[in-house]
Amino acid sequence: MKKRKKDTLLWKMTHSDTGTVSYVFGSIHLRDERVYFRIDEVKALINKCDVFIAEYPLDDAGSGDVMSALQLPEGKHINSYLPEKKYVKLRKYLYKSFNIDLDRIGFFRPMVIENMITESIFKNDYEFPMDIVLWNYAKNLGKETLGAETTESQVRIMKRFSIKKQLKSLMEIGRNTKRYRKKIKKLISLYCDQNIKELHRKTLKSLGKMKDVLVHKRNIDIVETFAEHSVNSSVFLAVGAGHLLGKKGIIKLLKEKGYKVKPIY
């Protein structure tokens, strides 16, 4: 098959003034071994860099503020937002298809439960998802580790979307579990093919009106943090692959800042 022009998750960035070389990698929040096919190459480049930047400081992932933001307000359970019959039906479908028990995890926000469903579709070959694996690797090397965004900004984003809209999305999964499973497997197939153009398109389509808050505006903050630290230091930036391409994507924004951008195949 002929290689498409942008079929790569890994990019080299050279600062226009200082010539400092940095890297951008499209990661994914999964533990399935199939998505780790460039892990050795990525680790070798992290070794060469001074700074490692993730989407936010991943050491805070288990902090009280983050855990609180992941949960429904006022200690509520998801069953308090749905009529009993709808809740029972949703619980039945999710348990049967994904082994996800709403009785046990229903205190989380629906979008968090949706992420759990996605992870349940794939194998857990690694102890941690890829973004955390890379973060821990950089830390163990003694690299400076930073978040492109603050933990506080992540919490604000989490709280911005109404429970009603999140529930609607979760109910749609419950109504057609096979279609959701097929959609997610297609996205992972695109990731493994490094087809980031199509991956970006399908990601934005699935986010609908949330794309500006979850992708476009965040891309600006991510690029600003990268630019701030990559003038005289070599930076390795690992962000979700859906952030890379597009008119408002990280690659284009860095080009506009004058970086010399080169794909690494």
pLDDT in tens, 193-212: 999 999 999 988 888 888 89
Break the chain into its structural domains and give their ranges.
Answer: 10-264
Average pLDDT over residues 75-102: 96
Task: Give me the phi and psi of 62, to 5 degrees please.
Answer: -105, 15
pLDDT in tens, 95-128: 999 999 999 999 999 999 999 999 999 999 999 9
Question: How far is it, in rounded angstroms, from Cα 215 to Cα 187?
Answer: 17
Q: Is the pLDDT of residue 4 over 70?
A: no
Strand 21-27 and strand 51-54: pairing?
Answer: unpaired
pLDDT in tens, 44-76: 999 999 999 999 999 988 778 888 889 999 999
Question: How far is it, in rounded angstroms, from Cα 161 to Cα 218?
Answer: 15
pLDDT in tens, 124-163: 999 999 999 999 999 999 999 999 998 888 888 888 888 9
Q: Is the pLDDT of residue 260 over 70?
A: yes
pLDDT at 3: 53
